[in-house]
């Protein structure tokens, strides 16, 4: 099959699958870089190393919220690639619930409410991800394939980002929460790198085996 024939044979479902990596590359990763830079500046302001504008910590939090939202949308798009033909009704309902819960998280002031909305949003992703049509490599944490799974790493990444967004009002006020935030986001950075590798691996395997 020639390259032009291969392009013509791409189904709408295949094109949906391409939206996920494009969104991550063109939106999520650049915003992550800006968020990290703003976080460094916010720390310098707190330590009085750099007399920067008071708006920088707010911008850091806003960028973090955009990263979390972008990852949620990207994960839903990836899941829709597997479920749009097998469970379209469930896909639509749970996707609306996931994004609605995240919206309520951002609008809530109570930390417990924010954590509950974060848990609701993450649970929706888990519900969709556990459907039979979703490729997970393995569901057994004690097997090597589980730790190589693009899906499970993505779910962990989503959970960490949601928890950071939920705890955001406390980060500037409590030292322990701030340390937890820093540690969590070091793991997030590692997961983003691993996701880039495993996502590329999956695309290469799909191309090799024609799936």
d(CA 152, CA 167): 23
Task: Give the three-state DSSP class for 120.
Answer: helix
| Residues in Cβ contact with 154 at an 8 Å cutoff, skipping those fewer than 6 apart | 71, 75, 78, 195
CB 155 within 8 A of CB 126: yes
Query: 65 or 201, which is more confident?
Result: 65
Dump pLDDT digits (tens) for 39-55: 999 888 888 887 888 88
Dump pLDDT digits (tens) for 71-120: 999 999 999 988 988 889 999 999 999 999 999 999 999 999 999 999 99
- Put simply, whether the predicted model's pTM sits higher than 0.85 gets the answer yes
- Residue 124's Cβ-side half-sphere holds a number of Cα atoms within 13 Å equal to 23
Q: How much is the pLDDT for 45?
A: 86
Dump pLDDT digits (tens) for 117-130: 999 999 999 999 99
Apex 54 CA angle, 52 and 56, nearest 5: 75
């Amino acid at each position: 099959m020639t390259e032009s024939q291969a392009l013509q044979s791409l189904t709408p479902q295949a094109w949906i699958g391409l939206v996920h990596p494009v969104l991550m590359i063109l939106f999520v990763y650049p915003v992550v870089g800006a968020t990290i830079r703003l976080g460094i500046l916010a720390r310098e302001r707190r330590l009085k190393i750099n007399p920067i504008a008071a708006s920088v910590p707010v911008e850091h939090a806003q960028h973090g919220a955009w990263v979390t939202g972008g990852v949620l949308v990207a994960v839903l798009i990836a899941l829709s690639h597997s479920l749009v033909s097998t469970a379209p009704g469930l896909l639509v309902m749970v996707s609306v619930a996931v994004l609605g819960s995240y919206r309520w998280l951002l609008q809530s002031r109570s930390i417990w409410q924010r954590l509950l909305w974060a848990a609701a949003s993450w649970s929706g992703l888990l519900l969709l991800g556990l459907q039979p049509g979703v490729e997970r490599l393995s569901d057994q944490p004690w097997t090597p394939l589980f730790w190589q799974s693009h899906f499970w790493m993505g779910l962990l990444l989503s959970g960490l980002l949601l928890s950071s967004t939920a705890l955001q009002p406390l980060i500037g006020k409590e030292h322990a929460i701030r340390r937890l935030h820093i540690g969590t986001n070091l793991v997030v950075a590692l997961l983003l790198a691993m996701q880039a590798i495993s996502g590329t691996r999956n695309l290469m395997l799909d191309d090799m085996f024609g799936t």
